[in-house]
Chain A
Amino acid sequence: MDLTTNYMGLKLNSPLVPSASPLTRDVAEIKRAEDAGASAVVLPSVFEEQLRLESAELDIALEQGAESFAEATSYFPSVGEFRLGPEDYLDHIQKAKAAVGIPVIASLNGTSVGGWTDYARQIEAAGADGLELNIYYIPTDPELTSPQVEQTYLDILKAVKGTVKIPVAVKLSPFFSSLANMARRLDAAGADALVLFNRFYQPDIDLDNLEVEHSILLSTPQARRLPLRWIAILHGRIQASLAATSGIHTAADALKVIMAGADVAMLCSVLLRKGVAQIAVIEREMRRWLEEHEYDSLEQARGSLSQKSVANPAAFERAQYMRVLSTYELA
């Protein structure tokens, strides 16, 4: 069964791609993922803000108490250059590239326009095959308008596209007033792929300590519904590739998002729970299903249930949502 797919201009052997997660922080884990059949990997994001903070914090910590007291004009020796930029991340790209044959896609979260482009350039130079822009951004300022937020996304994308030659994906949040329009504008601005959707850390409250806590919440299969709908809507309407991420845990999940129109199905929570070997299980079951149902290739199924290919396009629209809600039995 031919599972090949084209994602952001990269020819992949299958649609199964481990997404940015702690798993891909480890080169050995990336190698195991390749062995299990991953067709590409997305590395965890490098966060410009974190690097800036780290650099400021180190400066304060090492200068603390210096030149204040005659016996101790400093408290630390000089240990040479600090690696306070993305050096470790670039090393990681290089090591991952050296260890595996599949494409390695880097992921970047910047804070300044200069930061996005500088880091993107360095990531490209380190050998990444593609770059995912993780525009981690919660607009909380009541003065900030939706068009301003949207323009920020477009500006970042354009700046990065103007800087690097490797394909660039944009990982989106679902919180746009007009997601379809946003997708089209990103497409027009040169996005090679859209990744739907970014799952932000959601805060919770710790009752014992009366504190807000941030813990990673792994996805459930229900989470898959949201990207599925939007991929189905966008498929065929934009040039950029589409990646589904969130809630893809089984071969059935993967098949569904591909039928909705995804070029790749990104895996994360399932691999964190079951290990990267699960990629092989999902792939095997996908093959079995496609064979059992006498598909020629995965390509044949792609977009087969997208909005423009289904009998009832309205099934992906709002009315349908209302019906589901109204038939839900309240406990």
Chain B
Amino acid sequence: MKSFQTLDGNEAVAYVAYRCNEVMGIYPITPSSNMGEWCDQWSSEGVKNLWGTVPHVIEMQSEGGAAGTVHGALQTGALTCTFTASQGLLLKIPNMFKIAGELTPTVFHISARALATHALSIFGDHSDVMSARTTGFAMLSSASVQEAHDFALIAHAATLEARLPFLHFFDGFRTSHEVQRIEMLGEDQMRAMMRDDLVIAHRQRALSPDRPKLRGTAQNPDVFFQAREAANPFYDACPGVVQKAMDQFAEITGRRYNLFDYVGAPDAERVIVLMGSGGETAHETVEHLVAAGEKVGVLKVRLYRPLAVQAFVEALPASVRRIAVLDRTKESGSAGEPLYLDVVAALNEALANEWGPLTSMPRVLAGRYGLSSKEFTPGMVKGVLDNLAADRPKNHFTIGITDDVSHSSLDYDPAFSTEADKVVRCMFYGLGADGTVGANKNSIKIIGEETDNYAQGYFVYDSKKSGSMTISHLRFGPQPIRSTYLVSRAQFVACHQPVFLERYNVVQNLVDGGTFLLNSPHGPAEIWGTLPRPIQEALATKKARLFVIDATSVARDTGMGARINTIMQTCFFALAGVLPRDEAIEQIKKSIKKTYGRKGDEIVRKNIEAVEQTLANLHEVPVPAAADSTLELLPPMSTDAPEYVQRVLGPILGGTGDALPVSCFEPDGTFPTATARYEKRNLALDIPVWDEVTCIQCAKCVAICPHATIRMKVFEESCLAGAPATFKTANARNPDWKGLKFSLQVAAEDCTGCALCVDVCPAKNKSEARLKAINMAPQAPLREQERENWDFFLGLPEMDRRKVKVTQLRQQQVMQPLFEFSGACAGCGETPYVKMLSQLFGDRAIIANATGCSSIYGGNLPTTPYCQTAQGLGPSWSNSLFEDNAEFGLGFRVSLDKQNELAREFVQQLGGQIGDDLVTGLLTADQTNESGIHEQRERVARLKEKLTGVDVPNARMLLSLADSLVRKSVWILGGDGWAYDIGYGGLDHVLASGRNVNVLVMDTEVYSNTGGQMSKATPRGAVAKFAAGGKQAGKKDLGLIAMSYGTIYVASVAMGARDEQTLKAFVEAESYDGPSLIIAYAHCIAHGINMVAGARQQKAAVDSGQWLLYRFDPRRKDRGENPLQLDSGAAKNRVQDFLLSENRFKMLAKARPEQARALFETAQQDATSRWQLYSYMAARKLNGASEAVVGKSE
């Protein structure tokens, strides 16, 4: 019996891979992470493979490590596979040559993704797999979720017989994350494809002391070449093996595939050749055009390596005259992209050998499309086919962009559509936090599994982690859906958050007569009047039906909080008509029980209550014949922004970045900093409001603010001339600032409303203790007033940095942050550290940032949070890779040191022109404090003046190097995944180098950016992906390892526990003329905590002894002191009390109480013995010198 399920490509592949293997060595990387996660989950649930055993899943420290483990497991006979993408695949390449060279059967499942070049991209194209095409792996390409499921099995079956390893790839996001209804393979079908004799043969080839042999030899010129050629017969045979497997698969399942599948007119003259999900769109378009009488076709390449030349040409129609080969990759400098070159070579060879139906060489054109998940639509397919028909077709073209630099791009008609009327198309605009995507996935499951419809869902997420917009694209209909592109003409559009209407024309894709569903606090009588003119106009012109519901109130009344998902889902089913209303509601309730059942009856009850309350609150609103609103859409960006920001970054922000031409971009990937300030995201419903009377000016709120939206300044009273009426000040309380004014100002339009500031505020209102010195209040009524106040505040003078005591938080926080308004999560635990760094050293900092959360909120387009002083100084930032960040930063240091040295040499050489005093000043400057740096900057300015126009050798060289005479601060930033795992080897080497670099590890104790996978920083007992049963091993003590060198400044800090200890650590680390390592505890949404309590959780971690505060300063040894100072005292609370306050631990206690009890007890022992060790180390006397002070360093 046929069985259908609705799932995404990653799950569809993992489902097969898990059942066909015994061992999986993995490492998380987007967009492939979910495959390993599914396998790990099934393994932890005891799901068995085809041979009745539970596979082992092992998470490694990097993809390189995973590949090594996979290689080892294969060499010793286990059926082994892995999953990866992009940079991960690159890291596996060395092992892939070995695995292929040793004729080892395995399958690497790849959700193909762009490689980082001028920029990183997590999205899909073939640049990763094309980089692996020389490894000797067979390469099988699937184009849809169904194919990915099917080809996973075909690859596993074929690899055993062919003895070649397989790289099975499908498009990242478009296939890996697209949800489709597919026909599932049964265990018996899979079993029939997987031959036991071949499994046994694989085991018998394995290394075993029972059958001693040797592989991995070193060979010399005499034999290497011949031995390399010995494998040729396997490559020759492989296509036949794959076709045989496809034939067998067709017999078993009825789904037929070939090495190359041609679709189109039998007498086609124009044919597109391509691989991957674009093949589905090309297929749909070609069928549409053929029905209209056009002689066109598409050849979908399934087996790309080994390329079966004869089968390829035999699959082409004899009538073909022109071929466009589309590559979803770019190989700069080549004669053409790889598939194109292969096709040209294949045709040439086939003609020479008289293979296939062709008698003459067709015209072959090359084109690039779809890089980084760029849309590939029927209009583009038609554009490519039209180009083939042109008298002088463009070669080496691009499709889908406007290339106004090299003029490679083809024109196409974006309005061309091939979508059948029978396909229902829907779009949903939601907020990340409101559950829209989850609800839509659920709806697709209901439609796909409870009706006869085929269903497809694709989800577009934001580049920001806070207040992010999601757009869900759903299709369903009676035939399989091949539309691998976004919905552009929707019969149903839902806007789940009324705030989107301010900036986005959410109904622009609605078809005439379509339905628009809006969640709004305004009732049916007044809603029309609140809509902006373009939206009214679109609804009126399209004669749309408008429905409104106050889902937010329904959610609040039924205890659902911000989650309006179930309510909006109920409206969707009520309006879309895919199922009778009552049946739809029953299905929703059934699925609620299934989805939420494991979370307890209460959650199920609330959701069902919400469903029941929905329809009574859903109202149809008559749409007038014409618009009457004067309200216009807001521009995506502040109109104060510089021209470039408005012209280029504005459209990206507004969702129209696809239309930007090539000329808008620097060819080397450079972007300006200080652009986040123009976004004015207005995310917060409530913002902090300062009470200047209650405030004690401790600056804790300023320090903890993750988005730098709370600032303080101290200034002369005279600066207040012209201040807005509502601008607040107080007399500065700090004795050093006697007579000056103090102001604390909130950037109301940039605040995310996280309320961390209120939580850390220690001052209480003397008449009403619920109030603090900073309190949350609704943003909307304050927006205008605070915008004016903020602008005035920014105009106030900055405090002279030389006058600030940098180790006192209440003074230091007056320093201007050079990191502001990032896209980090509301309440982020990492960004306060980055901001503090930027305040202290940002004007001379250069930052190497490991890939991860900090590189995303630091460097993801469209805007940049790193910014500049009024003098134009500020952090210069770059992200190289995930794994090499320490080395990348060390490169900065070595380079800067060399340039400094060279500049000094030139200064000496050019002493005559410069003058002795200035030479001496420049070369002997004390730059250990702000005054020294300030003076050196002035000297460098004088030097530049003197050198300008001097025409002696090396004067211009010195001019170009002069700035390097000012001390630069090199910072190496990253998370625990980088520092503890993938980058650890490099970090260790860099720390051991003795060079003056500063490493900041923001330790969230889990891979936060990729969704919560276990790292070696994850503490014992925490639940994380790949540690579903709670992490069994203890946390690696990175600080202790670093201290063992004795020459590295090491600090362990937690700003929420003791902010001044953090501050001291930053100042000391930077001042140390050698390597420094700061390990900073960062709370995170992956901890399962209420983020408003982030700082409290940090304190709780320290108070329980789970996290220690200390500083290890090698300079103290020179003074005869113990280098280690413990800054936290003995535990005040039990570790378990802390663990149970965070759901990453508590969920284990709730799901597996026995395991939790044992792990939590061991965690207590970990903390106790760690405290004993550290207090012993800190108390040691050095050479009879003074005893270290324990827990009293401040």
A residues touching B (Cβ–Cβ < 8 Å)? 51-52, 54-85, 88, 209-211
Interchain CB contact under 8 A, B603 and A56: yes
Bound together, the chains give a CA A37 to CA B1012 distance in angstroms of 51
- List residues of chain B with CB within 8 A of the CB of A88: 1153
Q: Are B1029 and A74 touching (Cβ within 8 A)?
A: no
Question: What string of 1s and 0s marks CB contacts (under 8 Å) between B157-181 and chain A?
Answer: 0000000000000000100010000
Interfacial chain A residues near B437, Cβ < 8 Å:
67-68, 73
* Segment at the interface with A among B89-97, B592-600, B1059-1067: B592-600
B698 to chain A, nearest CB (A): 15
- Known A67-B436, A68-B437, A82-B600; 11 more pairs at CB < 8 Å: A56-B603, A58-B600, A58-B1088, A61-B1088, A62-B1088, A68-B431, A69-B461, A69-B462, A76-B1024, A76-B1147, A84-B599
Asked if A79 and B1011 sit within 8 Å, CB to CB, the answer is: no
Contact flag A83-B435 (CB < 8 Å), given A55-B603, A59-B596, A61-B1143: no
Chain B residues with CB under 8 Å of A75's CB are 1008, 1011-1012, 1085-1086, 1088
- B1148 CB-CB contact with A under 8 Å: yes
Report the minimum CB–CB distance from A81 to chain B (whole Å).
Answer: 5
A72 touches B764 (CB 8 A): no
Q: Which of B45, B433, B441 has the most CB of A within 10 A?
A: B433
Residues in B neighbouring A52, C-beta threshold 8 A: 602
Instruction: Chain B residues near A65: list those with CB within 8 A.
Output: 432-433, 465, 825, 1085-1086
Whether the pair A58, B1150 counts as a contact (CB closer than 8 A) is yes
Question: Are A71 and B1009 neighbours in the complex by a CB distance under 8 Å?
Answer: yes
B735 to chain A minimum Cβ distance, whole angstroms, is: 25
A-B contact count (CB 8 A): 162
Residue in A52, A70, A80 whose Cβ sees the most chain B Cβ within 10 Å: A70
Give the residues in chain A near B1143, CB-CB below 8 Å: 57-58, 61-62
Tell me whether A81 and B1011 are in contact (CB under 8 A): no
**A59: chain B residues within 8 A (beta carbon):** 596, 599-600, 603
For residue B468, which residues in chain A have a CB less than 8 angstroms away from its CB?
Answer: 68-69
| Closest CB in chain A relative to B582 CB, distance in Å | 25
Q: A65-B825, A210-B769 are in contact. Are A83 and B1151 (CB under 8 A)?
A: yes
Contact B465 A69 (CB under 8 A): yes
Alpha-carbon distance A211/B603, docked complex (angstroms) = 32
CA distance A75 to B1014 in the complex (A): 11
Minimum CB–CB distance for A247 against chain B, Å: 30
> Are A74 and B1012 interface neighbours, CB within 8 A?
yes
Residues in A whose Cβ lies below 8 Å from that of B1088:
58, 61-62, 64, 75-76
B contact residues around A209 at 8 Å (CB):
764
How far does the Cβ of B164 sit from chain A's closest Cβ, in whole Å?
Answer: 32
Decide if A67 touches B435 in the complex (CB within 8 Å): yes
25 contacts between A and B (CB under 8 A): A54-B1150, A58-B599, A58-B1147, A59-B596, A61-B1090, A62-B599, A65-B433, A65-B825, A65-B1085, A67-B441, A69-B462, A69-B465, A69-B468, A70-B461, A71-B31, A72-B1012, A73-B34, A73-B1011, A74-B1012, A77-B44, A79-B44, A81-B1151, A84-B601, A84-B602, A211-B769
Min Cβ gap A168→B in Å is: 23
- Nearest CB in chain B: distance from A115 CB, A: 10
Say whether B556 faces chain A, with CB atoms less than 8 Å apart: no
The answer to whether B40 has its CB under 8 Å from any CB of chain A is yes
Report the minimal beta-carbon distance from A216 to chain B, rounded to whole angstroms.
16
**Bound Cα distance A205, B843 (Å):** 47
CB-CB nearest in chain A for B563: A63
A209 to B1096, CA, bound (A): 15
Select from chain A the residue with minimum beta-carbon distance to B469. Answer: A68
Within 8 A of A (CB), among B601-625: 601-603, 606
Q: Taking the complex as formed, is B655 at the interface, i.e. its CB lies under 8 A from any CB of chain A?
A: no
Interface centre among A62, A82, A88, A209 (most CB of B within 10 A): A82
CA distance A60 to B1088 in the complex (A): 8
B1152 smallest CB distance to A (angstroms): 7
Find chain A residues with CB under 8 A from B598 CB: 78, 80-82
Asked whether B125 is an interface residue with its Cβ less than 8 Å from the other chain, the reply is no
Report the Cα distance A72→B459, complex, angstroms: 13
- Is A85 within 8 A of B601, CB to CB? yes
Contact A77 B599 (CB under 8 A): no
Contact in complex: B1012, A67 (CB < 8 Å) = no
CB of B211 to closest CB in A, whole Å: 39
Query: Are B122 and A70 in contact, with the CB atoms below 8 A?
Result: yes
Chain A hits for B1011, CB < 8 A: 71-75
Nearest to B467 among chain A residues (CB) is: A68
B1144 interface residue per 8 A CB criterion: yes
Residues of B within 8 A of A84 (CB): 599-602, 1150
A81 nearest in chain B by CB position:
B598
> Is B657 close to A, CB under 8 A?
no
0/1 interface trace, chain B 751-774, chain A, CB 8 Å (1 if under): 000000000000010000100000
With A70-B30, A83-B1150 known to touch, is A77 a contact of B461 (CB < 8 Å)? no
A209 to B1091, CA, bound (A): 22
Query: A residues within 8 A CB of B602?
Result: 51-52, 55-56, 84
Residues on the A chain within 8 Å of B470, using CB: 67-68
Q: Which residues of B contact A69 (CB under 8 A)?
A: 432, 461-462, 464-465, 468
Q: Within the complex, what minimum Cβ distance (angstroms) separates B796 from chain A?
A: 32
Residues of chain B within 8 A of A62, CB atoms compared: 599, 1088, 1143, 1147
CB distance from B830 to the nearest CB of A (A): 14
Chain A residues with Cβ below 8 Å from B769 are 210-211
Q: Is B661 an interface residue (CB 8 A)?
A: no
A299 to chain B, nearest CB (A): 43
Q: How far is the CA of A88 from the CA of B1154 in the complex (A)?
A: 11
Q: Is the CB of B432 within 8 A of A80?
A: no
B30 pairs with A77, CB closer than 8 A:
no
Q: Are B600 and A71 in contact (CB under 8 A)?
A: no
The answer to whether B1153 touches A76 (Cβ under 8 A) is: no
- Is the CB–CB distance between A77 and B40 below 8 Å? yes
| Set of chain B residues within 8 Å of A80, measured between Cβ atoms | 45, 598, 1151-1152
For residues 1144 through 1188 of chain B, which have their beta carbon under 8 Å from a beta carbon of chain A?
1144, 1146-1148, 1150-1153
**In the assembled complex, how far is the CB of residue B909 from the closest CB belonging to chain A, in whole angstroms?**
51
Which residue on chain B has the smallest CB distance to residue A64?
B1085
> Is B156 positioned at the interface, with any CB of A under 8 Å from its CB?
no
Residues facing A in B457-486 (CB within 8 A) are 459, 461-462, 464-465, 468, 470
Instruction: Tell me whether A77 and B41 are in contact (CB under 8 A).
Output: yes
Complex interface: chain B residues within 8 A of A63 (CB): 435, 438, 563
**Given A57-B1143, A70-B122, do A79 and B1152 touch, yes or no (CB 8 Å)?**
yes
A78 to B40, CA, bound (A): 10
B387 CB, nearest partner CB in chain A, Å: 32
- Known A69-B432, A83-B1150; contact A77-B37, beta-carbon cutoff 8 A: yes
Q: Max chain A CB contacts within 10 Å: which of B40, B600, B1008, B1026?
A: B600
Q: Mark B1120-1154, 1 if CB is under 8 A from A, else 0.
A: 00000000000000000000000110111011110
Alpha-carbon separation in the docked complex, A65 to B1008 (Å): 11
Find chain B residues with CB under 8 A from A55 CB.
599-603
Considering only residues 540-572 of chain B, those with a C-beta below 8 Å from chain A are 559, 561, 563
The minimal Cβ–Cβ distance linking B807 to chain A, given in whole angstroms, is 26
Known contacts A72-B1011, A210-B764, A77 near B438 by CB under 8 Å? no
Q: Which residue, of B563, B1011, B1085, has the highest number of chain A Cβ atoms within 10 A?
A: B1011
Q: From residue B700, how far is it (CB to closest CB) to chain A in Å?
A: 15
Name the contact of A78 in the complex, choosing from B431, B764, B1028 (C-beta under 8 A). B1028
Say how far A331's CB is from chain B's closest CB, in angstroms. Answer: 31
A contact residues around B561 at 8 Å (CB): 60
| B607 nearest in chain A by CB position | A59
User: Does A79 lie within 8 Å of B461, measured CB to CB?
Assistant: no
Task: Please name the 3 residue pairs, one residue from A and one from B, whose CB atoms are nearest each other, closest first.
Answer: A68-B432, A84-B600, A72-B1011
Contact string, B23-36, partner A, CB cutoff 8 A, digits 1/0? 00000001101100
Contacts of B436 in A (CB 8 A): 67
A27 to chain B, nearest CB (A): 13
Contacts of A68 in B (CB 8 A): 431-433, 437, 461-462, 465, 468, 470
